[in-house]
Amino acid sequence: MKVSEIVEALKLETVCGLDNLEKEVTGGYTGDLLSDVMGNAREGYLWVTRQVHQNIVAVASLKELAGIILINSSRPARETIEKAEAEKIPILVSDLPAFELSGRVYNLLTAKNL
């Protein structure tokens, strides 16, 4: 499933990375502790987080994640957007809390793989 399909299905706002929504999503990871995400997220995952600072882009780039979804209508800092554009990492925003958003992403991915 592509990032663009998840954006459409969940009505996510694309803050940046509009040209990079055709990446394949292979799974997801939810967490706010950067070291936890670095240790457990895998290439192609979508990362669900509340963090908005530019270090999230460094982690997403390092792990080759498909994108970052911010929860609870969180807004990334300007520096975060600039860095994400440079690294070609989509940043998406949802008004949902982490638990509900993660469940919806999981349901989409498992339905697609049936």
Q: What is the pLDDT of residues 31-84, one digit of tens each?
A: 999 999 999 999 999 999 999 999 999 999 999 999 999 999 999 999 999 999
Query: What is this structure's pTM?
Result: 0.96
Q: Give the SS3 label for residue 78.
A: helix
Fold designation for 3-112: 3.40.1390
Domain locations in the chain as residue ranges: 3-112
Question: For 5-10, which contacts have Cβ atoms below 8 Å and span 24 or more sequence positions?
Answer: 5/108, 5/112, 6/46, 6/105, 6/108, 7/92, 9/108, 10/94, 10/96, 10/101, 10/104, 10/105, 10/108
pLDDT band, residue 112 (cuts 50/70/90): confident
Residue 114 has pLDDT above 70, yes or no: no
